[in-house]
Amino acid sequence: MILHICVEEDWAAGADPYRPASLDDAGFVHCSDPGTAHIPANALFRGREDLLLLEIDPSRIDAPLRWEVGDPPHPAGIWFPHVYGPIPREAVVAVHPFPPGRVGTFSLPSSIANR
């Protein structure tokens, strides 16, 4: 499983395939794994209340999936999954609310963490 942070409004628009702005801006869809989803969330979305975490089955994606240095690079050299094409909605196997905690920071939702 890979994860993608998504604004509720963008997902609700219902486009199929899902094509976030990063696909045009960076050439790929930024994703994470369960152990790293909090890193971009806290760096880029701290305090936002309108986020979802899309759970994606990589076997249902036709586009290339590459594990690469983060964009921007993480100081610890952590690699992240990047999808080089749009995400078919059928590849999204679950959608999880992704609210920040009390101080505005994010942690993995219990719906994923408690598996």
Condensed to tens digits (0 to 9), the pLDDT of residues 55-83 reads 999 999 999 999 999 877 888 889 999 99
Q: What is the structure's pLDDT at 114?
A: 84
pLDDT, average across residues 20-38: 94
Mean pLDDT of all residues belonging to the chain: 94
**Mean pLDDT value across residues 29-41:** 95
Give residue 37's pLDDT band: very low, low, confident or very high (50, 70, 90). Answer: very high
Domain presence at residue 52: yes
Task: Using the predicted structure, report yes or no on whether residue 91 has a pLDDT greater than 80.
Answer: yes
Contact 82, 40 (CB under 8 A): no
d(CA 72, CA 83): 16
Other beta carbons within 10 Å of 106:
23
Within a domain: residue 104?
A: no
- Measured CA to CA, the distance from residue 64 to residue 53 in angstroms comes to 21
26 occurs within a structural domain: yes
pLDDT at 4: 98
What per-residue confidence (pLDDT) applies to 92? 98
| Span between the terminal Cα atoms of the chain, in Å | 12
**By percentage, how much of the chain surpasses pLDDT 70?**
100
Question: CATH number for the domain including 73?
Answer: 3.20.170.20
Q: Give the model's confidence band at 98: pLDDT under 50 very low, under 70 low, under 90 confident, else very high.
A: very high
Residue 9 domain flag: yes
Q: What is the pTM of this model?
A: 0.93
- Domain for residue 102, yes or no? no
Residue 15: give the domain boundaries.
2-97
Q: What pLDDT, on a 0 to 100 scale, did the predictor assign at position 71?
A: 77
